[in-house]
Amino acid sequence: MSALVVARNLAMPGRLQDISLEFAAGQLVGLIGPNGGGKTSLLQTLAGIPPASGVVIIAGECARSLAPNLRQRLFTFLPASRDVAWPLSARDFIELALPPEADWSPLVNRFELSGVVDRRMDQLSTGERTRVMIARALAPDPILLLLDEPIANLDPYWQLVILDELRDRARTGGRTIIMAIHDLRAALGWSDRLLLMAGCRLVADANPPGLQATGIIEEIFRVDPNLSAIRPADRQSSP
Amino acid sequence: MTRPFLLVAVAVAFLLSLALPYGSFATLQARDPALAWDLLAQLRLPRAMLALTYGAALGACGAAVQTIFANPLASPDLTGTTSGAALGAVIAAYLLEFASPFAMSLGSVGGAMAALGLLLLLAGPRAETTTLLLAGLAISALAGALTTLALALAPSPFAFYDAYDWLMGSLVDRSLGQSLFALVPTLACIALLLSQVRPLDSLALGEQSAQAIGYDIRRLRLLVIATTAIAVGACVAVCGAIGFIGLVAPIFARRLTGGRPGSAILPAALIGGLLLLSADLIVRLAPLGRTLPIGVATAVLGAPFFLWLVSRMRWKLGR
């Protein structure tokens, strides 16, 4: 089976070394790694945010050569920051630069946004703003979704709703979804494939059971196999 | 709905600016109609045109600069553009002793460009917003100090008075030709900014989202800074430095666009023109015996608004 997304020679000066990757349709890919490992840099490079270099082919199209409306049908990007500079209403925020054919009305029910859309973004809670921003990323229904920390700032219920929606889009919609995620349990439980980044490099690329079997997660994250405690060797000894 | 209203308001202010004070005009017209029309065409028309142009330039550039810095407190003054333009014009004026408005225009745009070059040199083309704002502040301080130095070294008290009067900002006694010097580059720059409304609006999603959607934000930032330098430089050369309108007009304009920062450029231009026309009317009709410099009037009206804005933002941020 040929890959839906092909990325060649991805790099970002000083932040990401040369990486080439392929992604199949219907994959929910978890991007994990310690702070500063290069997760965000990889997502930004895939999204073509300067100073990224490399080639990304999505469904046979070179995404970066396309105009905004077509490009959003191929991929969208959710940045890690939940800050907003301007006091737009949530509705205006979602509809800003949205391709005209995009229909986001199903997301209003799915994410319970009916009480939120007419309020100003700067007056929402961080969790509400996160839901609106994820809705903005999902609204064009792109082939490839690049999400930086989609479930950070969310309570357990909304974490599960979002993960469930993403998996549903991958399984039944055949979309490719790449999400950077710090919650290792959620990453192991929900991902079809895990990319482990450390030191600006791709350290491991495997399915969750395969990755767990290697023991590299404990090694890189310096936690015990249950992910519930710091490894004894890495515990700071108090004087 | 609001835009037709704004257009009408601007048109009314423009006509009032031509007609008022009406008494002296009517008296003159009864005695010497030809002279009265000369007064209208050669004194009041350039003045009203300048007020509209300068105000529109400050409003539009202010809206664009606030958008690229993602900061409602940014303005052409904050990037050092106005101060650089003023310094360039003062230097050109001293070298050529106010001989040629063309030299002052060149000096002013040159000064604005130099301020921009220094800004890029200090902050780099891909600078963080904070770095850019701090660099702009440093440039403003430097240009202000050098302007004061130039004033201190004035060749004669008259030169000092001329320069000082001009620095405070004035729309008085500018010829039709001079106002065209400000009008043409400003309109071109506003048109250029209006062609960038969509990419500027997309910045409300965040800089990275706008880039992922496909807008070249680095190019956009350079374009906004360059057009601001040219438009503000051209206006400063003719009328001196006028503050606060570039800060205030976009803030009102965004209330009309639901917070969209790029769409606010056109209403900000109209509001800027309206504000400066109104400020000029106040200055002309105020019973003080002597006309106030308009830059002083906008500062006196604008500074308290600025203080109110800062205190409100501070409360909102909870700091």
Q: Does A101 touch chain B (CB under 8 A)?
A: no
Whether residue B215 and residue A85 make contact (CB cut-off 8 A), yes or no, is: no
What is the average pLDDT score of chain B?
81
Higher pLDDT, A116 or B316: A116
- CB of B203 less than 8 A from some CB of A: yes
- B101-123 vs B176-194: helix crossing angle, rounded to 10: 30
Q: What does the alpha-carbon distance between residue B284 and residue B275 come to, in Å, rounded to a whole number?
A: 14
The shortest C-alpha distance from B204 to chain A (Å) reads 6
A76 in reach of chain B (CB within 8 A): yes
Is pLDDT at B228 greater than 50 in this prediction?
Answer: yes
- Inter-residue contact A204 to A196 (CB < 8 Å): yes
What's the pLDDT score for residue B242?
84
Per-residue pLDDT, averaged over A96-119, amounts to: 91
User: Both tokens of residue A98?
Assistant: 């949205």
With a cut of 80, say whether residue B65 has pLDDT above it: yes
Å from A53 to nearest chain B CA?
A: 13
Task: List, for residues B84-129, the tens digit of each pLDDT value.
Answer: 988 988 888 777 666 567 777 888 888 988 887 887 778 765 555 5
The beta-carbon neighbor of A79 closest among B209, B259, B260 is B209
Residue B317: predicted pLDDT: 40
pLDDT of residue B9: 83
Please name the residue of chain A whose CA is at the shortest distance from the CA of residue B73.
A85
CB contact under 8 A, B212 and A146: yes
> 3-class secondary structure for chain B?
CHHHHHHHHHHHHHHHHHHCCHHHHHHHHHHCHHHHHHHHHHHHHHHHHHHHHHHHHHHHHHHHHHHHCCCCCCCCCCCCHHHHHHHHHHHHHHHHCCCCHHHHHHHHHHHHHHHHHHHHHHHCCCCCHHHHHHHHHHHHHHHHHHHHHHHHCCCCHHHHHHHHHHHCCCCCCCCHHHHHHHHHHHHHHHHHHHCCHHHHHHHHHCHHHHHHHCCCHHHHHHHHHHHHHHHHHHHHHHHCCCCCHHHHHHHHHHHHCCCCCCCCHHHHHHHHHHHHHHHHHHHHHCCCCCCCCHHHHHHHHHHHHHHHHHHHHHHHHCC
Q: What is the pTM of this model?
A: 0.86
Residues 95-134 of chain B with CB under 8 A from chain A are: 126
Residues of B in contact with A79 (CB under 8 A): 206, 208-209
The whole-number average pLDDT for the span B240-263 is 87
The larger pLDDT score, comparing residue A137 to residue A218, is at A137
Q: What is the pLDDT of residues A39-76, one digit of tens each?
A: 999 999 999 888 888 999 999 888 888 888 889 999 99
State how far the Cα of B148 lies from the Cα of A186, in Å rounded to an integer.
63
Whether pLDDT at B266 is above 90: yes
Q: Are residues B126 and A75, on separate chains, in Cβ contact within 8 Å?
A: no
| Secondary structure of residue A78 in the 3-state scheme | strand
A49-53, A174-178, B192-196: range with lowest mean pLDDT: A49-53
The Cα B205–Cα B218 span in angstroms is 16
* DSSP E strands, A118-172: 144-148
Judging by beta carbons within 10 Å of its beta carbon (0-12, 13-18, 19+), is residue B23 exposed, middle or buried? exposed
B131 vs B54 pLDDT, higher one: B54
Residue among A135, A32, A22 nearest A40 (CA)? A32
Chain B residue nearest residue A78, CA to CA: B209
Best CA proximity match to A104, nearest among A145, A146, A132: A132
